[in-house]
A and B are shown apart, each in its own frame.
Chain A
Amino acid sequence: MTATLLGVAITVAQIMLGLALACAAFRFVRGPRAQDRILGLDTFYVNAMLLLLTFGIQTSRTIYFDAALVISLLGFVGTVALARFLMRGEVIE
């Protein structure tokens, strides 16, 4: 009984995170200026990482933790590099 309830809760959580991904993708595609697109990309990274964590809970495998850590690391580096590019016009001076 509780296993079924937990399964439904996990699926609902995954659907909500998928909608959040769609919102971030909308801002990434539409965003009137470059900073809006970068903000959407950063949100997309965080939401995708959370979706991976829920997949890890669903299949009870800890390998997803490492994938989520790598995604958050790459998201941080990518967003900082893009923000620097907006500020200065180049990434490495």
Chain B
Amino acid sequence: MIQAPDLPAWAAIIVGVLLLSGSAATLIGSLGLVRLKTFYERVHAPTLGATVGVGSIVLASIVCFTALESRLVSQGILILVFLTLTTPVTLISLARAALYRDRIAKDENVPLEHGKD
């Protein structure tokens, strides 16, 4: 289904480029989630979508609705700020939980504990 808002040309070009680059970054990050080998490599990949992807798609929606309604529509900023604050927290706690589990299971490929040889 091809449907688009009725935007002026400059806004349409900006929105299209931002949407394509943001979704391409998200797709690359999710492909990394499939292709990388260990968990500690994989935990880095989705952050591409959570930073570049969210940033450019939110920016595209702000440009789109600002051009449509001729006033600044900045609700999207809230999503951007929230995700930027929470993604590091979730991934750090997940990685620490994985480290804890791997150390208990005596896995060989675990990064060394800080301050020990």
Chain A residues within 8 Å of B, Cβ to Cβ: 2-14, 16-17, 19-21, 23-24, 26-27, 33-36, 38-40, 42-43, 46-47, 49-50, 53-54, 56-60, 62, 65-66, 68-69, 72-73, 76, 79-80, 82-84, 86-87
Contact = CB atoms under 8 A, between A and B. Distances in A.
A13 B79 contact: no
A9 B29 CA distance: 20
A80 B90 contact: yes
B90 A42 contact: yes
Contact-residue size bin, chain B (C-beta under 8 Å from the other chain): 35 or more
B5 interface: yes
B63 to A, nearest CB: 9
A13 B23 contact: yes
A16 B75 contact: no
Nearest to B53: A50
A65 B58 CA distance: 9
Given A2-B12, A83-B93, A17 B26 contact: yes
Interface of A is mostly: helix
Contacts of B93: 80, 83-84, 87
Contacts of B68: 60
Contacts of B2: 4, 7-8, 10-11
Nearest to B58: A53
Contact of A3 (B7, B19, B65, B73): B7
Interface string B24-66: 1011011101100001001100100110011001101100110
Contact of B4 (A3, A38, A72): A3
Nearest to B10: A2
A89 to B, nearest CB: 11
A69 B93 CA distance: 22
B27 A16 contact: yes
